[in-house]
Amino acid sequence: MRSKIYFASDFHLGTPNYAKSLAREKKVVAWLESIKNDAKEIYLLGDIFDFWFEYKTVVPKGFTRLLGKIAELSDAGIPIKFFTGNHDLWMKDYFEKELNVEVYHHPITAEWNGKKFFIGHGDGLGPKDYGYKFINKIFKNKFCQWLFAQLHPGIGIKIAQLWSKKSRNSNSSDKKFLGEEKEHLLIYAKDALRKEHFDFFIFGHRHIPLDITLSNNVNGKENKSHASSNSQSRYINLGDWITHYSYAEFDGTELKLKYFNQQEQQQE
């Protein structure tokens, strides 16, 4: 029975080289295979590719196994939702047309069995980080995207891959928990709870698996929009598939942060 909702992010396929990316892609496909019989929906929360740009008639080559598995699951009637991240934000309608996968460029809210979710990749949310937010506006500008599309794919994709590598290297020191007062997404979640209750905030982007309990009692004032006696929320960061192979599973009642072990799956 398909009753579970799955969340994963930050596969970063394409990095650091072909061999390692291919091994990681096969592991992602094995995970998707392992959940296909009980998956009600699958949410992929961005940076699935280390770089993605859709020209009018060209997309980056590779990733055949992942795209084939997504097509298989989609054709089997499993809804798959794709969120763009800061590395694959230049996604247009290829996934929607070819794979019947909904693509989201902004966070969304959802509700299952009375549980409210806030879901997104997470880049650009929270305080400060003004440099990134400025660059992100340029990347999302339609005229800038049109200019980039005028480059031959062999040149444009090469430039983008170099930029992606530089961005990843500059942020490599941030792949550790900074504390509740410095984690931008955690601050964002706490601020959001001042206005509206959510049972779960689910993000990617940070590359570290986190499961942190939040209270609706912000600054000593309870959020009155939540009538339930349970005033707690949870902030979930999905980690990545470069180091952690982590994902979240919601069975309709409980949400668990889990880790994929391919050998254990094969033994079952």
Q: What is the CATH number of the domain that holds 135?
A: 3.60.21.10
| Cα gap 168→166, rounded to integer Å | 5
Q: Range of 62's domain? A: 4-267
| Cα gap 121→47, rounded to integer Å | 8
**pLDDT of the chain along its 268 residues, tens only?**
789 999 999 999 998 899 999 999 999 999 999 999 999 999 999 999 998 888 888 888 889 999 999 999 999 999 999 999 888 878 889 999 999 999 999 999 999 999 999 999 998 787 776 555 656 666 667 777 777 777 777 787 777 666 666 665 545 546 788 888 888 999 999 999 999 999 999 999 999 999 999 976 544 454 444 444 356 899 999 999 999 999 999 999 999 999 998 655 655 5
Res 27: pLDDT = 97
Res 193: pLDDT = 93
Q: In what order do the strands lie in the sheet with 4-8?
A: 102-104, 80-83, 39-44, 4-8, 246-250, 255-259
The pTM of the full predicted model, rounded to 2 decimals, is 0.86
Q: How many domains does the chain have?
A: 1
Beta-carbon contacts of residue 212 (< 8 Å; ≥ 6 apart)? 180, 186, 234, 235
